Chain A
């Protein structure tokens, strides 16, 4: 909600509220007037809204009805105030000597506050802390004088009331007067501080993004330009930079010790990509915490990827992992040379030791599908021990 700047009569509170509630401004004003008549509640509400609702930063388009509306509004305000004063006098809750000075002080405060609104608008217009015009100073001074007069009159009239020490009352009244006069100042201070804090956060964010891009993307681009004769190296750099940027953008946790299966698999794929300059495309469905057998499973999968990178003679390996409540399955596949499992020499330990042995020790299973020219797929399956289902 914003107070309006055009078509306002006192501070634009009623029209701003009407805009906010999508109601005719006449009714809003009428409600304020009625509540003002009820022992001044409307006046207090109006003052509070004036204080806490910032005025709109841009001027709204003027309308033809402004003149008529203005007269209507002034009429309503006068009616509300008049009835408030009249009922106050009739009921005897406030004697003329109390109500009168307070009303004068209120008018003075309104003049000062309005002047503060004007000053703020001038600052918006000039874009800086421009010095107020002379008329503005005169208006503010007149408002202050009115407040002082009201407070003074109130004190004089209350000399006859004997139940409070007059000195204490004088101090209290002065404090209230000063507080009322300086309200616009405090509000402005709070708002300016808030705006400044927001601007600072934005600047810091931007600086952090710039720093990150500089450290990562720009550096890599420079490296790529230097390495441009080596397509393998360029590809490796580009892949690893892409990975890094993605994890930064999409907020994936990056750390030395992964805590979930999907992160651990992503890290392992990244290590193979970096170490062997091939692309590892991975798809992971589901997720779970890293339980006992999972480290073995990931190590076995890594060995399968490394084998593919070394022997398959292709630039890409696909990894698919599915985490189900009772087991985790990982498929490592390449479309490369393939081989005949029966002719693998005894001294090659990769498949038998690193993969099969690891999986067996933890109760897992390995299946192998390959034939010369058909590519290779290693299927790893590890049962989940804990019954905790994620």
Chain B
């Protein structure tokens, strides 16, 4: 059964492009609907109940984070994958903390995009190299860092750091697994755990860091 996908982006041209690409290259995903604004998106997602929403970070009326806030309380089983041209760490971290299961840039190839969609639909997280870099940076142990209140959430384990580093270097899960002598399943577990920490950690840095680092 194919993964049912809903597109949210305020650029009609971009939606049409993604839809055409996804429709032609594979049967693994099926685009069931699209929306160009926060209001349309909330209504459309509630109506179609897709498996995965491809979500633009930047839109009028609050952007992707606003769609996430409105939908996640109503229909928690829908998963979101952020898709954006934005390189601003603030936007990326914000949409992840609002509940997206991953972040990829719009320059991603169609094949990679399909893989990412299938992966989040199976409950995994998708970290582009850039997102991996941002998260590493946000959890970095800098002088003057805020105290750790909950080590379970506020610190990455050395293994998680290793996995993130390899993700940032552009390694695929299989390559990471063989590099670290662990199974692909274990890599997935580490990545999901990093996602959970990024979403739930109350460490003051995470938000402050993202705001400070307006540049790439």
Contact = CB atoms under 8 A, between A and B. Distances in A.
A250 B88 contact: yes
Interface in A254-304: 266, 279, 281, 283-286
Contact of B170 (A281, A284, A389): A281
A25 B33 CA distance: 53
A251 B214 contact: yes
B129 A283 contact: yes
B169 A333 contact: yes
A246 interface: yes
B216 A389 contact: no
Interface string B161-204: 00001001110000000000000000000000000000000000
Interface stretch (B5-13, B38-46, B135-143): B135-143
B215 A283 contact: no
A283 B89 CA distance: 12
B122 interface: no
A320 B87 contact: no
B188 to A, nearest CB: 21
Contact of A333 (B88, B143, B170, B214): B170
Contacts, number: 47
A331 interface: yes
Contacts of A286: 137, 140
A283 B214 CA distance: 15
A318 interface: yes
Contacts of B133: 283-285, 320
Contacts of B136: 285, 322
A221 to B, nearest CB: 15
B130 interface: yes
B54 to A, nearest CB: 21
A217 to B, nearest CB: 14
Given A285-B168, A322-B165, A250 B87 contact: yes
Given A250-B87, A285-B140, A389-B143, A320 B168 contact: yes
B interface secondary structure, majority: loop
A151 to B, nearest CB: 58
Interface string B115-147: 000000000000001101100110010010000
Contact of A251 (B165, B168, B170, B215): B215
Nearest to A377: B169
B170 A320 contact: yes
Interface residues of B, number: 18
Interface centre among B130, B168, B214 (most CB of A within 10 A): B168
A283 B87 contact: no
Given A250-B214, A389-B143, A285 B137 contact: yes
A252 interface: yes
Contacts of B165: 320, 322
Interface string B73-88: 0000000000000011
Contacts of B214: 250-251
Interface in A349-390: 377, 389
Nearest to A284: B133
Interface string A132-158: 000000000000000000000000000
Contact of B129 (A251, A266, A318): A318
Nearest to A317: B170
Contacts of A246: 87, 216
A331 B87 contact: no
Contacts of B215: 250-252
Nearest to B141: A325
Contacts of A285: 133, 136-137, 140, 168
A322 B88 CA distance: 18
A246 B216 CA distance: 9
Given A250-B87, A320-B169, A333-B169, A283 B143 contact: no
A285 B169 CA distance: 11
Most buried by B among A250, A251, A285, A286: A285
B13 to A, nearest CB: 15
13 contacts: A246-B87, A250-B87, A250-B216, A283-B132, A283-B168, A285-B133, A285-B168, A318-B169, A318-B170, A320-B165, A322-B165, A377-B169, A389-B143
